[in-house]
Amino acid sequence: MQYLESFYNYLVYERRNSAHTVTAYKKDLDQFCSFLEQSDIKLWSSVTSKTIRSWMVSLVDDGVSPRTVTRKISTLKVFFRFLMVQEVVDNNVAEHVITPKVPKRLPVFVKEQEMDFLLDNISFTEDLKGLRDRLIIEVFYHTGMRLSELVNLKDENVDFGNEVFRIWGKRNKERIVPIIKELKVSLVRYMNERNKVFPERACSNLFLTDKGLPVYHKLVYRVVNGYLSRVSTVSKKSPHVIRHSFATALLNRGADLNAIKELLGHANLAATEVYTHNTFEKLNSIYKQAHPRAEKMEDYI
């Protein structure tokens, strides 16, 4: 159908969405277009709220999770808003479609003691691979960086003079994250070894494979998964779990929520507030253990 390519260009060049986000939009709209073809709807102006609700019901019947359904409807809201600006439709028919209730999903995180054990007691080899793998874990845990951000890190993003990372996150928005002393030491050791092994590198990426090429998502995921498996039994063992661990550790130690929002590169505070539940649970547990009247009060409940 028409206007799809223009919409994707709008996402890339005006909204400055990442390639991953644009791919997700394309997938959602391809599915919706297939549904419209089956319903013999050929014009965007012929789509109604009822059409979208029917698609939503078909998704649920196919076993698609409420969270995914909600995301797909969000895609339609953005797309029909675009069509309104293009004067293709008169109103956003997706705007008032009620989506399924999404159960609250708390972030999975690794305990501070487990991360400390990993970095202080698990041995990494002293060759380039070992130095790189340790640095990958450290960068995730000390900065809360996203997987895509780490993979795309360049040497120029490491500002040793000011001791900060200059990270380009979602929508190509730059943010500044401090480099603590421990992380700086690991960075220098890794970069020195990397420069010895690959003195004439073909790329400026910070993290390289054994062949001198930029690391890729699956490689980094395997590194993180392998080391987390040695210290934790959490259900997920991914780079994003270390990002959650970073945020949870900061909150547990009294960091300001707005400061954590900036460090994580969240667009709004609501995305950061999800970590407060974990922190509240810990505070509640500590309170029950420490308060002299806590046990007595439970006898009355």
Q: pLDDT tens digits, residue range 41-72?
A: 999 999 999 999 999 999 999 999 988 999 99
Average pLDDT on 157-173 reads 90
Using alpha carbons, list the distances in angstroms from residue 157 to 35, 143, 168, 174, 205: 44, 13, 9, 10, 10
- Assigned token pair, 232: 């934790």
- The single residue of 170, 189, 201, 236 carrying the catalytic annotation is 170
Asked if 122 and 271 sit in the same domain, the reply is yes
Is 146 tagged catalytic? Answer: yes
Asked if 180 and 257 sit in the same domain, the reply is yes
Q: Single out the residue of 198, 243, 206 nearest to residue 221, CA to CA.
A: 243
Domain count, the chain: 2
- The single residue of 26, 111, 129, 240 carrying the catalytic annotation is 240
- Among 22-26, 28-32, 45-49, 245-249, whose mean pLDDT is lowest? 245-249
Residue 253: inside a domain: yes
Torsion angle, CA of 26/31/35/36, rounded to 10 degrees?
0
Distance CA 79, CA 97 (A): 14
Domain containing residue 212: 112-286
Q: Single out the residue of 258, 263, 219, 257 nearest to residue 243, CA to CA.
A: 263
- The single residue of 146, 175, 194, 237 carrying the catalytic annotation is 146
- The single residue of 25, 141, 190, 275 carrying the catalytic annotation is 275
Enter the pTM of the model. 0.66
**One-character DSSP codes across 93-153:** TTTTPPPPPPPP-PPP---HHHHHHHHHHS---SSHHHHHHHHHHHHHHHH---HHHHHT-
pLDDT at residue number 300? 43
- The single residue of 142, 175, 194, 243 carrying the catalytic annotation is 243
Torsion angle, CA of 156/160/164/167, rounded to 10 degrees?
10
Residue 248: inside a domain: yes
Is 277 tagged catalytic? Answer: no
Residue 297: inside a domain: no
Asked if 161 and 282 sit in the same domain, the reply is yes
Average pLDDT on 103-129 reads 90
Q: What is the mean pLDDT of the chain?
A: 89
Give 167's strand partners: 175
Residue 177: inside a domain: yes
- Segment 10-21, tens digit of pLDDT: 999 999 888 889
Asked if 253 and 138 sit in the same domain, the reply is yes
Is 240 tagged catalytic? Answer: yes
Is 275 tagged catalytic? Answer: yes
Asked if 263 and 117 sit in the same domain, the reply is yes
Residue 107: inside a domain: no
Asked if 71 and 220 sit in the same domain, the reply is no
CATH assignment of the domain containing 192: 1.10.443.10
- The single residue of 72, 132, 237, 266 carrying the catalytic annotation is 266
Asked if 268 and 154 sit in the same domain, the reply is yes
